[in-house]
Amino acid sequence: MIRDTAYELLKMSRQKKNYIPLARYLLFLLLCYIAYKSSVSTLAQTLSSFSADRNEAAKYLDGLFFARIMLVPTFIVLMPIVMAALGGDCLAGEMQEGTLKLYMTRPRSRTGVILTKFTAVYLASFLYSLFFSSAGVIIGCLFFGTAPVQMLLMPGQVFGSTVSIMSNGEALFRYVCASLYFSFSLMTLGTMALMFSAVFNRMSAAALAVITIYFVSYIAAALPFAGVLRPWLISEIMNNAFLFWLTPFPMEKLLLNLALLAMYICGFLVAAICIFNYKDIR
């Protein structure tokens, strides 16, 4: 299985389309840098209500603050599209090209094929997450430096305080934990895409199905009357990495989220295995 997983990763690395997310993120990073640089005074004015004065507040607008701002849209908007494309291409993409039928001519376990592709998608997701989260910190600290301490704002959240002060080391540790949480939670979409990839014979159909479900869930969670449904929506559970910034840290809530994510991932994975085992490969 290790050799087959390495082969899957090698195939992904040779496909030029898998480098488009990297170029897209670099463009996003450039635009965010320009916007952040030009709006420091406005942000400092907002922070001045929590600090002594505007100049004092501006000290907190450092590289780690920039990285935290980048983290949210990167993993809530950009990465779901990446995961839909990765998972959707695993089976349906090979069906389109006709390589899957040739690959299955050898005596292979179909369940093993799904598990291999699942592992490869997760490793690719982890590498993307590592690159995106590291780039935000490196670019932020390189151009904006670091403050003596970090001021974390959590407006509108139910848990913990709205403002907390912590050391740079603790803030960076929580940033890493949030990135790892996202790399795991995104596999909900990756496994869902793998399932749809076993259903459809076209990668675009599988990816579109996942993106539609995710963003419909995301919009539904934002509705004011969705309080009962919200805790069970995929997008809400996936994007709860803000828990790592709360003080005190809500461990029970985090464990519940991880359990729900594992439930979704296992459910989609079992469905993908069942569908693929009975699918007629053409």
Give per-residue pLDDT as tens, 18-37. Answer: 889 999 999 999 999 998 88
pTM for the whole structure: 0.87
Residue 35 CB partners (closer than 8 Å, separation 6+): none
- pLDDT for 13 equals 85
Task: State the helix-helix crossing angle for 251-277 and 110-144, rounded to 10 degrees.
Answer: 140
In whole angstroms, give the CA distance from residue 128 to residue 121: 10
- Residue boundaries of the structural domains of the chain: 2-277
pLDDT, one tens digit per residue, over 33-44 is 998 888 777 776
C-alpha–C-alpha distance, residues 131 and 29, integer Å: 12
CA distances from 149 to 106, 130, 136, 145, 156 (A): 59, 24, 18, 12, 23
Give me the residues of the chain with pLDDT under 70, please: 44-57, 154-163, 282
Locate 32 and state its tokens: 């965010």
Q: What is each CA distance from 64 to 148, 172, 249, in whole angstroms?
A: 11, 7, 20
Q: How far is CA 185 from the centre of its chain?
A: 7
Q: Which residue has the tokens 């998972």?
A: 87
Helix (H, G, I), strand (E, B) or coil at 164: strand
3-state secondary structure of 104: coil
pLDDT, tens digit (0-9, with 9 covering 90-100), for 229-282: 888 899 889 988 888 888 778 899 899 999 999 999 999 999 999 999 887 776
